[in-house]
Amino acid sequence: MIDRRALLSRSSLLLAGSAVPGAAIAQARTPAARTLPPFYADIEERTFRWFWETARRDNGLVPDRYPSPSFCSIAAVGFALTAYPIGVERGWITRAEARDLTLTTLRFFWETPQGPEPEGKIGHAGFFYHFIDMISGARFRDVELSSVDTTLFLMGALFAGQYYDREDAREREIRDLAHKLYARADWNFFRSDGRKAVSMGWHPGRGLIERNWDGYNEGMFVYILGMGAPEHPLPVDSWEAWTAPYERFWRGEGPMRHLAFAPLFPLHYSHIWIDFRGIRDAAMRNAGFDYFENNRRATLSNQAYCIANPMGWDGYGAQSWGLAACDGPGNFRLDYKGERREFFGYSARGPIDEPDGRDDGTITPSASLGSLPFAPEIVIPTAQALRREHGDLLYGKYGFHDAFNPSFRWIDKPVERGRVDPAKGWYGTDYIGIDQGPILLQAANYRSDFVWQRMRSCTPIRKGLKAAGFTGGWLS
C-alpha cells in the first residue's frame, strides 16, 4: 500500500530544501541570468534537426515518429512551425528556407479539402484529424477529429504569423494564411450536442467523444484559443467549464500545493506558447500563485516521486526522473522482484497518486527537459546525467530517444518497440514529434523568452486570456 501522505511530505521537504543534498536550491525562483551550459546547445540543435530533416518539402507534413515508418501528426507540425524560427535565430538554417517551408505547410493545410465524409478529407469544421497521411493529407484510418491537436497546429501557425513580420510577399501570405486557418475553426462544433465543455474529438458517423477537456491537463489552451477566436468563439462562460473540476486535481500541502495531472508533458503544452508568469485567473488569484508557479511545483513533485520511488523501480533518482506519455517496452505482466508487475507500450505515465497516474518504470527525457523554464536547477543536471549515464543507448542523431526503462531487462521478450540491453534495460529507438517539441521550444523560452515574447503580442492569445478572466503582469 502506497502511503500518499508520506509522498506529499517528501515533496514538501524537497521544496523546503531538507530532504536530499543540494535540494535547497529548488526553493529559488527561475534565475534572472538564464544561461545554459555548452553541452545543451548540442541537444537543441540535434532536436531541431529532427523537425527540419523529417518534414516533407512538398507539403510540410511532419511524421508522428521516426525512424519507424509513420503517418503525420498534426501536433508535430505545430511544433515544427515554431521550431523553424529557432533554427533561423541560432544560425542553423536561413530565414528564406524557414519561410518557404512554413508557407508550403500553411498552404497545404488551407487548400486540402475538408468535409464530414469519413475518408479522403484532412478535417472538418476547420479542425484537422489527429493523424493524416504523409502524402495526401487524408484522415489516417479511423482517428478522431482532434480539438487539442488542432490547437497545437494552430499555435504553431499563429506563432509563424507573429515571427514572419516583414513586408515581403511570402511573409505577408504566411500571416494571412495563419489568420484564415484560425478563423475557419468552428470551436462550438465540439459543443454541438449541448454540452458546456469542449469535447476531446469527433468521429464521422459516431459524433462527439464523450470525454471533455476540463480539469487540469493539456486542454488548457483549447479554451484560450477558442475564446479568442474572431468568427466562431466559445461563449464567455467556457472557462468555468474548464475549471469546474479543479477541486479534485489539487495535491500537496503548503509550498507544494498544486493542480496536478500525473503525466507531466500536458503541463508543458499551453506553457510553450503562453507566458503564464504573473497573470492569474480567478482560480489562481484564490490560490495565491500563478500557473507557472503551479507547474514549477508539479515538476518538483514529479522528481520527488521518482526519488521516493514507491514502486521500487530500478534507475529512479534525483537525476533520473520524468514521467509522462511516451513509448514503452510493450504490454506485459511479468515477475519483478517477487511481485507481478504490468508494463505498457505507448502510454501516459505519472505518479500513481495523481489523476491518471500510471508507473511502469519508464522514464522519458521529454518530461524533464520540457520542464526547463520551471525548474532549471534540477533539469540541467538531469540532462547532463542522462547523457553521461546512458550514452548512445539513449542519445543519438536527433538528441534523446523517446524513453527508457532500466527495470525491463528481459531479452527474451518480444518488445513492441526499441531494444533491450541486458545490463541497462529497455531503450526506445524512435523520436516522437510531440516529445521532441517541448525539449527544443522550452529551451528557447528559457534562454530568451523566444516563443513567449512573440505570443504576448498575439491578439487571439490576449483576447482569449482576458475572456477567461486573466489579469495582471504583461497582460495589463
Confidence of residue 267 (pLDDT cuts 50, 70, 90): confident
Bridge partners (DSSP) of residue 201 are: 146
Q: What is the C-alpha separation between 97 and 119, in angstroms, rounded?
A: 33
Q: What is the C-alpha separation between 234 and 198, in angstroms, rounded?
A: 9
- Specify whether the CB–CB gap between 327 and 428 falls below 8 A: yes
Provide the CATH number for the domain around residue 156: 1.50.10.140
Residue 256 has pLDDT above 80, yes or no: yes
Mean pLDDT of 265-289: 95
Residue with cell 501536433: 75
- Specify whether the CB–CB gap between 351 and 425 falls below 8 A: no
Q: What is the C-alpha separation between 317 and 253, in angstroms, rounded?
A: 22
Contacts of 208 (CB under 8 A, 6+ apart): 190, 192, 193, 195, 199, 201, 202
Mean pLDDT of 311-323: 98
Q: What is the C-alpha separation between 453 and 224, in angstroms, rounded?
A: 17
Q: Has this prediction a pTM greater than 0.75? A: yes
Confidence of residue 428 (pLDDT cuts 50, 70, 90): very high
- Specify whether the CB–CB gap between 87 and 50 falls below 8 A: no
Q: What pLDDT sits at residue 17?
A: 38
Q: What pLDDT sits at residue 201?
A: 98
Percent of the chain with pLDDT over 90: 92
Q: What is the C-alpha separation between 45 and 364, in angstroms, rounded?
A: 19
Q: How would you classify residue 288: left for phi > 0, otherwise alpha for psi between -120 and 50, otherwise beta?
A: left
Mean pLDDT of the chain: 93
Q: What pLDDT sits at residue 24?
A: 31
One-letter amino acid at 407 equals S
- Specify whether the CB–CB gap between 20 and 316 falls below 8 A: no
Residue 123 phi, psi dihedral angles, 5° rounding: 180, -165
Q: Prior bond to 67 cis, omega within 30?
A: yes
338-352 pLDDT, tens per residue? 999 999 999 999 999
Q: Which domain holds residue 129?
A: 4-475
SS3 166: coil
Residue 30 has pLDDT above 80, yes or no: no
Q: What pLDDT sits at residue 32?
A: 53
- Specify whether the CB–CB gap between 151 and 434 falls below 8 A: no
Residue 173 phi, psi dihedral angles, 5° rounding: -65, -35
Angle at 155 between CA 151 and CA 160, to 5 degrees: 150
Residue 11 has pLDDT above 80, yes or no: no
- Count of domains forming the chain: 1
CB atoms within 10 A of CB 135: 11
Q: What is the C-alpha separation between 22 and 396, in angstroms, rounded?
A: 30
Three cell numbers at 213? Answer: 477537456
Q: What pLDDT sits at residue 266?
A: 73
45-91 pLDDT, tens per residue? 999 999 999 999 999 999 999 999 999 999 999 999 999 999 999 99
CA 401 remoteness from chain centre: 16
Mean pLDDT of 372-394: 98
DSSP string, 307-320: HH-TT--TT-BTTB
Residue 282 has pLDDT above 80, yes or no: yes
